[in-house]
Amino acid sequence: MFIHRRRGWEIPESKVTPEAAALARRAVLGGAAAAGVLAASPAKAWKLFSGSGEAGPAADLKPINAPRNPKFEAGRALTDEKEATTYNNFYEFGLSKSIYESAAALKSDPWTIEIAGMVKTPRKIGIEDLLKQVSLEERIYRHRCVEAWAMTVPWTGFQLSDLVKLAEPLGSATYVQFTTLADPKTMPGLRQSWYPWPYTEGVTMAEAMNELAFLSVGIYGKTLPPQNGAPIRLNLPWKYGFKSAKSIIRVEFTDQRPVSFWQSLQDSEYGFWANVNPDVPHPRWSQAQERLIGTSAVAQTQIWNGYGPFVASLYTGLTKERLFA
């Protein structure tokens, strides 16, 4: 199979993206937490989701008044909201970055999440019920795509560890797998049958319990728009963005390492760990720098996307693992 190789950062954005298109081609060819600061009212939070019954366009987004956690500042300017909500990867709606209009078809209300696998009691939980049991906060995270673009985004949500605790996993569970919505009626991308739908992702239990691992239900102080993964998506800011699964419908606890959507497409380029590292290039381009969306700026990429103090210790001793690609 023909893969055109260029030298690292010289690769223009147009050649890097959409990454999905490159892989599709190949698939065809080859077969504070200071308690006071964070006291958002859970009741208020869940009411946001007791809506009209129809997911709507951006204009229908509801404000979320969750306090900002000052522990998570990104050290650079926020990406313009319009950029972050109109330049997206959500392959279920198409390969381009401009899927925000077609994503308006996503029906995110009502929404149920299945808690499955190695847990005390497998069950389904409505998002309103879930949000009654957590407190929302806002965090500004750096968001780094494997395609070498980056954003700085204020997400509203709660720690993934809160969901893990509610799920009561068995002691033998070592991984968490996320499955996302695959609805052929509303998602035209699913017609591309060579992709291993549904989109799935996975992390270790230790990663899931890390305080950075976040489940977002909002962005820029409003409920998530469909294109950003309504009504609930993952954010793992020390990993490449493809690990941050959107529109999650199932969370499974397992003792088997999950094989994700991208890994099953091309494991040599998109491995299980996918931690950000400027010194480990993608096989087809450099990861040393990142283009800040909505600006003409290019920033130096940082190892762990700059979140080493939070996460580096998770990986000590894993010398045989391919942690960065």
Nearest distance, CB of residue 20 and ligand MTE, angstroms:
7
The alpha carbon torsion through 257, 115, 190, 147 (nearest 10 deg) reads -50
For ligand MTE, the nearest residue by Cβ is: 241
Residue 152 interacts with ligand MTE (CB under 6 A)?
A: no
The stretch among 108-116, 242-250, 273-281, 307-315 that binds ligand MTE (CB under 6 A) is 242-250
Q: Rounded distance, CA 213 to CA 254, Å?
A: 18
Q: How far is CA 183 from CA 41, 66, 107, 117, 144, in A?
A: 32, 31, 9, 22, 27
Task: Please pick, from the candidates 86, 204, 247, 254, the single residue that binds ligand MTE as defined by CB under 6 A.
Answer: 247
* Sign of the dihedral defined by the CA atoms of residues 56, 116, 179, 220, in that order: positive
Q: Please, what is the minimum distance in Å from the beta carbon of residue 27 to ligand MTE?
A: 15
Q: Min. distance of Cβ 95 from ligand MTE in angstroms?
A: 9
Q: Does 88 bind ligand MTE (CB under 6 A)?
A: yes
Looking at 79, 152, 223, 244, which residue binds ligand MTE (CB under 6 A)?
244
Question: Could you give the CA distance from residue 26 to residue 32 in angstroms, rounded to a whole number?
Answer: 46
Which string of x and - marks every residue 95-134 that binds ligand MTE (by CB under 6 A)? Answer: ----------------------------------------
Taking alpha carbons only, the member of 104, 99, 81 closest to residue 20 is 99
Question: What is the nearest approach in angstroms of ligand MTE to the Cβ of residue 146?
Answer: 7
Q: Does 145 bind ligand MTE (CB under 6 A)?
A: yes
Residues between 206 and 235 that touch ligand MTE (CB under 6 A): 228
- Please tell me whether residue 238 binds ligand MTE under the rule CB under 6 A: no
Instruction: Kindly tell me which residue out of 241, 258, 294, 306 binds ligand MTE, with binding defined by CB under 6 A.
Output: 241
Question: In the complex, what is the shortest distance from the CB of residue 244 to ligand MTE, in angstroms, rounded to a whole number?
Answer: 5
Judge whether 75 and 306 are in contact, CB under 8 Å.
yes
Q: Which of 91, 111, 155, 273 binds ligand MTE (CB under 6 A)?
A: 91
- Euclidean distance between CA atoms 207 and 314, whole angstroms: 7
Count of CB atoms situated within 10 Å of the CB of 204: 18
Spatial contact of 66 and 219, defined as CB atoms under 8 Å apart? no
- Determine, following the binding rule CB under 6 A, whether residue 245 of this chain makes contact with ligand MTE: yes
With b for 16 or more beta-carbon neighbours within 10 A and e for fewer, the 4-28 pattern comes to: eeeeebebeeeebbbbbebbbebbe
Q: Is 263 in the site for ligand MTE (CB under 6 A)?
A: no
Q: How far is the CB of 152 from ligand MTE (least distance, A)?
A: 11
Q: Does 200 bind ligand MTE (CB under 6 A)?
A: no
User: Which H or E element spans position 157?
Assistant: strand 149-159
Closest CB to ligand MTE among residues 180, 254:
180
Rounded to an integer, what distance in angstroms lies between the CA atom of residue 8 and that of residue 164?
Answer: 39
Q: The tokens of 4 are what?
A: 């055109």
Stretch that binds ligand MTE, among 24-32, 101-109, 128-136, 243-251 (CB under 6 A): 243-251
What residue ranges bind ligand MTE (CB under 6 A)? 88-92, 143, 145, 180, 199, 228, 241-242, 244-247
